[in-house]
Structures are given as C-alpha cells and as structure tokens.
Structure 1
Amino acid sequence: MSTDSNTEAQKKLIDLAAEFYDQFDRGEIPTMSLPTRTKTNIEYDEDSNVWVYGDRESTRSANSIRGARKLLKAVYTIEFLNNQLEEDRSSTLRELYYLSESWDSDEAQFSSQDESNQMIEDLEIVSEVTREDFHMRPEESGATVMGPLHIREQTRRGERKIHCQKDVGEGGYQIPNNPDTIEFLDCDADFVLAVETGGMRDRLVENGFDEEYNALIVHLKGQPARATRRLIKRLQDELGLPVTVFTDADPWSYRIYGSVAYGSIKSAHLSKYLATPEAQFIGVRPEDIVEYDLPTDPLSDSDINALESELEDPRFQTEYWKEQIEIQLDIGKKSEQQALASRGLDFVTDTYLPDRLEEMGML
C-alpha cells in the first residue's frame, strides 16, 4: 500500500478517536453510533441489486460499564491500527485477538476473537475505511486464479509481473489479501468462471478448460473471502468480463452465489465494493439432478429450512430460482458438482459447461 493511502487511513482513525476527546471536552458522555447489524435493518437496494444497511442505528455509550468497555476497546484498537500503519506493518484478525492480551488495561482486552472481529467491522463502518486499508488480514484463504490474465503485483520486494497461466504452476496465482494492489496489464479471457470446490477447479485445469475456452477460473474455496469477491468485481467492472458462478446443487451453495452477486448481510456496508450483481449462476441445478440422473444425498431438515428461507429471500425472487427451489423441495435431493463425473471425467468440460455457456450466450 502507498504511503498516501496509509496516511489517509490514519487520519480517519485519529479523527474518530479525537471525537471521543471532543465529547469529553464538551462535558458529554462519549458515544459511537453504528447501523444496527440485524436482519431487520438490512435492505435490498433494488437499484444496485445489493444488500445495504437501513436507517436504524444503535449507540455505544460510556454511560454504562458495558458501553464504556466497548469504547475503551475501540480506542485501544484505533491506537494499535494507527501504529501499525505508521510502521507499514500488517497483522491478522487472529493476531489482533492475541495481541490485546498484552494491552496494559485488562478491561481493553478482547474476550473472544468474535469480539475483536466485530470491533474491526465497527471501525470499518464508522471510519469508512476497509480493514484491508487498516492492513488487517484474514487467515490465509488460499483462493486462486488460473487463466489468460497478465498482472502487475505490488509486493514488499517491489513490483513483479505475473501471467496467471504461463508463470504459475497447476495451483494457479494466489489472490492477495488486498487485490486492489493488482494492476491488470493484459487479458485474453472471455469470461470468469468462479468455482466452489477445489476438486472441480482441479478437474477444469487438468482438462485445459481455461485454455480451450479462454476462461479465468477463480477458485472460491467454499464461501468466498472478501479478497476473492473484490477481485471478481474488479474483473467485471474494469475488464468487462462476464462472471459465472459454478457451485453444488444445495441451498448453501446458492448462498455462495448470492454472496458473490448481491453481497452478504455481514458485509452489507461493503456491498458496492464487493458484490457483482451481473454474475450469473452456472452451478448444478435441481433440474440437472433429474435430467442427468446424478448421484444425490437426501435433503436434511436444515437444507429444507434453508431452501424455504430462500424462497422469501429478495436475492432469489425470480421465476428461475422459485422454479429450481420448488423442484429441489419436490425431489428432496441435493447433489455436488463432482457428481457430474458419473457421466465421465470429461463430461463437465466437454458437454455440461459448454452447453450452459452457450445457453447464456457466452460461446
């Protein structure tokens, strides 16, 4: 990250801490207001097709012991992040939790990692600075890209140019924590294929799908990390690449697609930064389970509840999704991407995906 970016993030953090001191100076009880992060305060923005927070707010106030502790932890965290940016260092969310044990106030220490994670999210919202700009990293996600994309990457050892097909091994190019440090130099890809599972990603690469169809294969590694979603959005916005999401046929996988396309409730404050509403679903459909007689597992009670919930989810309020979910509830089955191998190892790359892509007008 550039020094200018560090300075801007530091300024916003210091301004936030200064507000507490100003409140003290005015004889006021220090407070911090945040959007209420509950389902009842999440709104689906029809214009941008992403999740956003509504107008309801909650206030952290020092007029109670519990509230005072939260604000104390916020001040200690702000100081830590400011020093980290000053030194141009970084740390993980897990490390922040353990680092707090060294703080000189027992009251400022975090009792769990969930608490420290939430504090970083709070500071993101009130400062309008992302955790990536705070130099806070998640634990390694391992998500990768394979395909005809030439990039310039900023690293601590300087710039390096990488072709995500010619200069990498079978594992592909590993997406950095902050993909905004990547500059796109050249791209011969025709579309992005975001793949849920590692097994299917490996099958596509082994069969040369990225080369034959000029595809950028992005491994989502299950529920995609923020860095993965940010890179996908940049590929669509800046390079104009159509985005497809290839998942299993179960309700949890549909939510993976939803998080890529429309954002998630947890990160609604970053939907415009992370979500790609134009992304299309190319995953295994309930109708495919029937048409190809795929190997299946029965739907569990939690699967059924999740599907019924999705019927009420604004992200899935289309005739397509209603039809597919009703089919799945009717047959009572779910299936994995790799179940397509029951029709041969090459079926997915020779028949299934080309047919689907042709239906979408991408081939």
Structure 2
Amino acid sequence: MSAETQLNDEEAREKLIELAETFYDQFADGEVPKMQVPTRTKSNIEYDEDMNVWVYGDRTSTRTAKTVSGAQKLLKAIYAIDFLQQQLEEDRSSTLRELYYLSESWDLEEAQFNSQDESNQLVEDLEIVSNVTREDFHMRPEESGATLMGPLELREQTRRGEREIHCQEDVGEGGYQIPNNPDTIEFLDNDADFVLAVETGGMRDRLVENGFDEEYNSLIVHLKGQPARATRRITKRLHDELDLPVVVFTDGDPWSYRIYGSVAYGSIKSAHLSEYLATPEADFIGIRPEDIVEYDLPTDPLSDSDINALESELEDPRFQTEFWEEQIELQLDIEKKSEQQALASHGLDFVTDTYLPERLSEMGVL
C-alpha cells in the first residue's frame, strides 16, 4: 500500500463492495468461495530492498468454505464488510472493540466473533485483500494517548471544521494529541531540526520539563510503549514530508528494541502497511547495552524471557546488522538491562545536558 494513498469514503466503500462481489462471483462460477492472505509469521517476513522495510513473503493462508471453520470465517467477513460499508455510507466511525461487541447483535450466531483478537485479525485480513487501511474504513483503536510536542504548526480537520495548532504555543505540558488518522493533518510551518521518538511517559515528561524541545528544536513524539499505528504514521510523515531525521529513544531491553524495530522496519501484524507506517531511516539512540557499561547505569538482571528474546532477535531479520549483533551480544554477556530513567542516577539534567546532546552530535543529528 502506497504511503501516499488515502481514499475518500466512497472509494473505500466501493473497494469493500468489490471484495464482497468477488465471493458472489466465485459462487456464480461454481467455485468454492475463498480468500487468500499472507501468512503473518516471522518466518514469512522478508526485506524489501526497494522500500527498505520488512514485508510479507510469498507464503499465504487460505480462508475457504470447504471446511466449516473456513466457511464461518468468510461468513464473518461478509457481515463485517456489510457493517463497514454502511458505516462509510453514513459517515460514522467505530472502534475495534465496538466491532467485536457489535457482532453480538448480528442475526446469525455463526457470524458473531468469539474474541476481539478474532475480529481484529479479520479487519487486518480485509485491509490486505482490499488494499484499504482500517483508518479509511473509519475504524479506530482504543485511544492511544500518544502525543507530540515541539516547534510545529499544523492544521487539523475536526467535526467543527478546521483549526490551526502550534504544538508548543497552543498546547499544555501534555502536548498535542495525535489523532487516529494523521493523514487528516496538514503541516503548515515548522522550526524543527529532528524528531525524537521516546518510549516512556516519564522520560517524555523529563525532556519537556527541561525544555529539550525548545533548546534543540526537536519534535518529541511519545511512543507510549509499543507505538500505535497513528504514532508510526505521523513519525513517517514528519520524516518524509519535512525531511527531518528520526531518532528512537527507548529502555535498554529486548522488548524496547522491538519498539524501535516497529518504528523503523514495521511489525509482523502490520507488514502489509510497512511502506505506509515504517521509517527505515530512523536511528536508535539508546539506551544501548554499551551505555549500561559506559555510564555505569543502575540495572536489573536479565530474566530467562529477556535472554530468549535477545537470542530470538539475533535471528530476526530486522536486527541482523553489525551494530545490533554487537549490542545484543554485549547485553547477553553482561546479563543486565536498564531503563531510560536510570540516567537520572547522574542527575535530573544529565539526559538533556549530556547524554542526548553528546549522542546526537556523534550521530550527526546536531
């Protein structure tokens, strides 16, 4: 799916109807209805050298009416398509959670979802086969609460019309809340030099309180843990459209490295949208295992699950680079992990006065 592709409601609705018509045509031709989607596993992820992101490979899974379970999946798809096209026609929206509960009102019990994981996966299937994002379906996740703070002026669309916002001057300490569909935002003006994507709320608040965004003309994006699609999308747009370097600042553990991986290269669940969501030029600034040693940071021992995750990352195509192999091997050797806020052991200003400026200078960002 192209990063520049955004469909209007009628175009998205037509694509959904075309998908339903495909099932009807299969019936009419005497074929057993089926829907083919990529197998969403790590083993079916491959590197696309043209786009510099990870995408699904050639392995596929087939939803076919030849089996009872397959027929039920297609039945649920038809009901979901009908709901989504009606939602678009009425210019309404709903959350992924609401879709799960809404299915309980469908007249056929076999069409109802057994869990939200099931309904979420179906929406992903529909995205892939229709080439339409769930944002264009008017489907929203539960509120992510991710925010942006920095020298950026933008225009956003609201139900009350357009409004212009400066993401420093017109917002409180919490910053500008990133909307579910960042493609509705128009960037008007900015004085930013780079984007700093930060994992934790505590570190994000420390940077804002210390005025890091003002002193270094940075756009601070709060990832809020594993980043939502909207957060990754706006980060990509800031890089692509404003030509801003992106650096990712997380805790120093294997789960946080995967947060970086999802920002830079995409995730398994949304590999069909990597070109739309991923920023392969994003760099990892820290916390690096070498930082734990160099700055003598407070640490916790690696758990068995941490060790297994690190060893798994050595086999993960997103981390098969000289930098990551060195860092992960070092961490396995020292058997320690550390948090972003462990930098406070050197004082509350250390991260903004020393650590980030020095690392950003080494990376050529400052």
Task: Return the TM-score normalized by structure 1.
Answer: 0.98
Contact 2:7–2:136 (CA under 8 A) maintained in structure 1 = no
Partner of 1:138: 141
Superposed counterparts of 1:44-63, under 5 Å: 44-63=47-66
Q: Does 1:296 align with 2:321?
A: no
Identify which of 32, 35, 41 aligns with 1:32. Answer: 35
Q: Which amino acid aligns with 1:38?
A: T
Match of 2:115 in 1: 112
- Report how far residue 49 of structure 1 moved: 2.4
- In structure 1, the partner of 2:128 is 125
Matched with 1:357 is: 360
Query: Following superposition of structure 1 onto structure 2, how do residues 45-84 of structure 1 map, counting pairs within 5 Å?
Result: 45-84=48-87
Separation in 2, partners of 1:355, 1:40: 38
The residue aligned with 1:332 is 335
Deviation per residue, 1:236-266 (Å, 9 max, x gap): 0000000000001111111100100000111
Query: Are 1:230 and 2:268 matched, yes or no?
Result: no
Alignment of 1:221 onto 2:221: no
- Please give the secondary structure, in 1, of the residue aligned with 2:353: helix
Candidates 262, 272, 286, aligned match of 2:265: 262
Q: Which residue of 2 aligns with 1:147?
A: 150
2:190 is aligned with 1:198: no
CA displacement at 1:47 relative to structure 2: 3.2
CA RMSD of superposed structures (Å):
1.1
Counterpart CA distance in 2 for 1:75 and 1:226 is 25
Per-residue CA shift, 1:291-334, capped at 9, x if unaligned?
A: 11111000000111111111122211222111111111111100
State whether residues 207 and 213 of structure 2, in contact with CA within 8 Å, keep that contact through their aligned partners in structure 1. yes
Q: Determine if the alignment matches structure 1 residue 345 to structure 2 residue 344.
A: no
Query: Aligned AA for 1:44?
Result: Y
Q: Which residue of 2 aligns with 1:96?
A: 99
**1:4 shift after superposition:** 6.8
Count of aligned residue pairs for this structure pair: 361
Matching residue's letter, 1:134: F
Runs (5+) with no aligned partner, structure 1: none
- The code of the aligned residue for 2:72 comes to R
Gaps spanning 5+ residues in structure 2: where?
Answer: 1-5
Q: Kindly provide the amino acid, as one letter, of the partner of residue 307 in structure 2.
A: I
1-side partners of 2:16 and 2:69: how far apart?
22
Deviations, residues 40-70 of structure 1 (Å, cap 9, x unaligned): 2221223322111111222211122111111
SS at match of 1:282: strand
Which structure has more relative contact order (CA 8 Å, sep 6+)? It is 2
Q: Which runs of 4+ in 1 moved over 4 A?
A: none
The farther-off stretch of 59-68 and 129-138 is: 59-68
8 Å Cα contact 2:46/2:317 also seen in 1: no
Shift of 1:195: 0.2
After superposition, the Cα gap between the structure-2 partners of 1:277 and 1:4, relative to the gap in structure 1 and judged at 3 Å, is closer
Once the two structures are superposed, the pairs formed by residues 155-194 of structure 1 within 5 Å of their partners are 155-194=158-197
Identity %: 83
Distance (Å, rounded) in 1 between the aligned partners of 2:38 and 2:292: 42
TM-score (norm 2): 0.97
